[in-house]
């Protein structure tokens, strides 16, 4: 058997580090948002992929008037407080991925009732949530808000994209129920991306975006290379540098961590709680 190419080996290593079903790379966080949105809207359908972004956005003066494939699906639900500039405005990246931005709440946050009401609208195709774990995270971006957002979308069979800019333990976001997790390579656990490699140089891995999560959705993300993703391919040197840094042999992360999941009513449940309830 031939040795897989560095991108494939690196993707498998990243998936193992994050305990995800699959992973892939993009040229950065903003690109990851656009590609993840497109994947949730099109799957691997080549005709739908080729139609983006115009296939889901109107040609008229109002870019927020949804048209979409099928019955008008194409809205991406997110908290208004998450409409920020992550190298590019979140709203713009949603549109680039073919989605219609649907912010809920205001700059101070979004109540669970508002999210549930918005998620029930028939045009909603997916949700997008930004997580911050910094010393002073925005209240609407706190990790504790995520299960309620996941609950509102998942009870309607809709996927949730979680983007994190400083998660302490990004794998825990997949444990909580994120369908796709977006992060920078520099955030990988134990990667020490700023540390020099044995030859004394520092790998150029910053700016390399990672999309990890459900295998079917990651496959749909990869399929976007036949569409908008063709302009968002990662630098091969960055992937090789990442592979040099993290290697390929990654045993499972110890399961003693305190993982939180979304319960039937949207409350937070630990692994121990779920075992007790079962």
Choose between 122 and 5: higher pLDDT.
122
Residue 38 has pLDDT above 80, yes or no: yes
Average the pLDDT over 202-225 and give the result.
87
Helices (H), ranges, 66-119: 90-96, 112-119
State the pLDDT confidence band at 193, using cuts at 50, 70 and 90. low
State the pLDDT confidence band at 245, using cuts at 50, 70 and 90. confident
Of the options 3.30.1330.40, 3.40.640.10, 1.10.3720.10, 3.40.50.1820, the CATH number for the domain spanning 6-250+258-277: 3.40.640.10
Q: Would the pTM count as exceeding 0.95? A: no
Among 14-28, 47-61, 198-212, name the most confident range.
14-28
> b/e per residue, 182-211, with b = 16+ CB within 10 A?
bbbbebbeebebeeeeeeeeebebebbbbb
Beta strands 268-270 and 260-262, pairing class = antiparallel
Q: Is 212 helix (H, G, I), strand (E, B) or coil?
A: strand
The sign of the CA dihedral 172, 173, 178, 182 is: negative
DSSP H or E stretch at residue 15: helix 6-18
Contact 59, 51 (CB under 8 A): no
Would you state the structure tokens that stand for residue 232, as one six-digit string?
């968002």
Instruction: Give the lowest-confidence range in 32-46, 68-82, 90-104, 120-134.
Output: 68-82
**What is the average pLDDT value for the chain, to the nearest integer?**
77
């Amino acid at each position: 058997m031939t040795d897989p190419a560095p991108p494939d080996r690196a993707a498998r290593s990243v998936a193992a580090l994050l305990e995800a079903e699959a992973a892939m790379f993009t040229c950065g966080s903003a690109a990851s948002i656009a590609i993840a949105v497109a994947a949730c809207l099109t799957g691997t359908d080549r005709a739908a992929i080729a139609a983006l972004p115009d296939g889901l956005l109107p040609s008229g003066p109002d870019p927020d008037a949804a048209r979409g494939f099928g019955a008008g699906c194409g809205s991406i639900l997110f908290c208004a407080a998450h409409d920020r500039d992550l190298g590019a405005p979140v709203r713009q990246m949603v549109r680039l991925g073919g989605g219609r931005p649907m912010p809920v709440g205001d700059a101070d946050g979004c109540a669970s009732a508002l999210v549930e009401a918005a998620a029930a609208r028939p045009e909603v195709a997916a949700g997008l949530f930004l997580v911050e774990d910094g010393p002073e995270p925005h209240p609407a971006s706190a990790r504790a808000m995520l299960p309620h957002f996941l609950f509102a979308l998942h009870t309607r069979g809709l996927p949730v994209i979680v983007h994190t800019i400083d998660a302490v333990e990004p794998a825990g976001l997949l444990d909580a129920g994120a369908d796709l997790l977006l992060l920078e390579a520099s955030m990988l656990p134990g990667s020490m991306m700023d540390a020099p490699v044995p030859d004394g140089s520092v790998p150029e891995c910053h700016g390399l975006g990672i999309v990890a999560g459900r295998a079917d959705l990651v496959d749909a993300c990869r399929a976007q290379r036949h569409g908008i993703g063709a302009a968002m391919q990662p630098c091969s040197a960055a992937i090789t540098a990442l592979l040099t840094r993290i290697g390929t042999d990654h045993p499972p992360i110890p399961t003693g961590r305190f993982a939180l999941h979304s319960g039937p009513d949207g409350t937070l449940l630990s692994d121990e709680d779920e075992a007790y309830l079962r």
